Amino acid sequence: MNKSAYACLSLLCLPLLSFAHGPTPQKAKESITINAPVAKVWDTVKQFSDIAHWHPDVKQSTGDGKHESGGTRTLTLQNGGQLVEELDFYSDKDHEYSYRLKTENAQAFPVSSYSITVQVLAGDTANNSTVLMKSRFYRGDTSNTPPANLTDEAAVNAMVSFFKNGLTGLKGTVEK
């Protein structure tokens, strides 16, 4: 085959190759201002295995109590599904931790993987704080033709809802 034949064959295959890729990472980011100092907000948030205390979407949470890389927790969601998460980073000094999904359960939560960072930042006065939650994740079905409940849109909607509900729950808990 000559060079021009290879060039033509390559051009014919390009459209096919553009459809043969996996999912793209999705992102979510939400924040809320809480009328309490950083230390008070952090005292509630830093308890990695106690998220059920303030997050209305979490029915129960248990964990190993470790506040370091490798610490784990299991969440039982209000829909009955369970998620297992593992800490990657934890800093009392910076009022921040990052964790990831350790055990996939797309039926409980429509993502195949995620990493999440939670950070408590000083607000514009000493008596308020901003809590930031951000994530990078993939949809629940990473095939090229996912069902409607496991698409990018379903994953983004679920993560944004989880963040908003959690932040609202945290605000209500801390401001009591």
SS3 of 54, please?
coil
Q: Which residues contact 28 (CB under 8 A, 6 or more apart)?
A: 133, 134, 135, 137, 156, 159, 160, 163
Which of 20, 25, 12 lies closest to 145 in space, CA to CA? 20
pTM: 0.87
Say if residue 21's pLDDT is above 80.
no
Residue 9: count other Cβ atoms within 10 Å of its Cβ. 10
Share of the chain above pLDDT 70, in %: 88
Instruction: Tell me the pLDDT tens digit for each residue of 96-126.
Output: 999 999 999 999 999 999 999 999 999 999 8
Instruction: Tell me the pLDDT tens digit for each residue of 32-54.
Output: 999 999 999 999 999 999 999 99
Show the domains of the chain with their CATH numbers: 24-174 (3.30.530.20)
